[in-house]
């Protein structure tokens, strides 16, 4: 099986990459995350995926799509925001996998206990059906802490929020940057 691994960031990719390599699965990565904000965060996450791919020795296709204005204008509820973020990325992964001769696709989002796992599975399967390709479902969550520890050992940047602009606005990192004491 030739597998496309959608990658949201380096730290979340560590464990799935390790498992796939240990099992001898032929795979390539894909970085497509137009939801990540601000631009500095987007660039830093892409940079860390590149770092991980160099360390672990696998290929990644990068899409440098940054759509800040689209996401800044989103005012809907969290459930809709997450659905949109997942759906956009899984749809792109399924289409790319189909167009480039992969047998299946999956996502590193399946490693995080903070993501909506059932929704990811549902949307992955729908994208797979739309493009006539398999969604390789695997619950990577049991290895989340191990992957985070390995990411730390590898010197990868470990972010403090999911990546979308709404979560960025809610994160203590944003609040700390905005405080007058930190703007001197």
Per-residue pLDDT of 48-86, as tens digits, reads 999 999 999 999 999 987 666 666 666 776 667 788 889
Domain ranges of the chain: 2-183
Angle at 14 between CA 89 and CA 42, to 5 degrees: 45
Q: What is the pTM of this model?
A: 0.85
- What pLDDT sits at residue 80? 77
Q: Kindly indicate the confidence band of residue 37, based on its pLDDT and cuts at 50, 70 and 90.
A: confident
What is the distance between the alpha carbons of residues 107 and 7, in angstroms, rounded to a whole number?
6
CATH superfamily of 2-183: HUPs (3.40.50.620)
What is the distance between the alpha carbons of residues 135 and 75, in angstroms, rounded to a whole number?
30
Q: Which two tokens stand for residue 38?
A: 């601000």
User: If you search the block for the tokens 């010197």, which residue do you land on?
Assistant: 155
* Higher per-residue confidence, 75 vs 28: 28
Q: Is the pLDDT of residue 131 over 60?
A: yes
Segment 19-34 shows an average pLDDT of: 97
Q: What is the largest CA-CA distance in the chain?
A: 55
């Amino acid at each position: 099986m030739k597998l496309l691994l959608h990658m949201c960031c380096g730290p979340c990719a560590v464990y799935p990459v390790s498992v796939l390599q240990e099992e001898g699965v032929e795979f390539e990565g894909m970085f497509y995350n137009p939801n990540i904000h601000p631009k500095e965060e987007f660039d830093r996450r892409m940079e860390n995926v590149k770092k991980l791919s160099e360390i672990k020795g696998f290929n990644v296709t990068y899409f440098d799509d940054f759509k800040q204005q689209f996401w800044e204008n989103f005012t809907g509820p969290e459930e809709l925001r997450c659905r949109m973020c997942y759906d956009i990325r899984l749809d792109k992964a399924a289409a790319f996998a189909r167009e480039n001769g992969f047998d299946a696709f999956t996502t590193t989002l399946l490693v995080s206990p903070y993501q909506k796992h059932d929704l990811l599975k549902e949307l992955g399967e729908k994208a797979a059906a739309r493009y006539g390709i398999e969604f390789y479902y695997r619950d990577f969550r049991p290895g989340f802490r191990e992957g985070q520890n390995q990411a730390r050992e590898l010197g990868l940047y470990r972010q403090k929020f999911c990546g979308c602009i709404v979560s960025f606005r809610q994160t203590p990192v944003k609040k700390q940057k905005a405080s007058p004491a930190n703007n001197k």
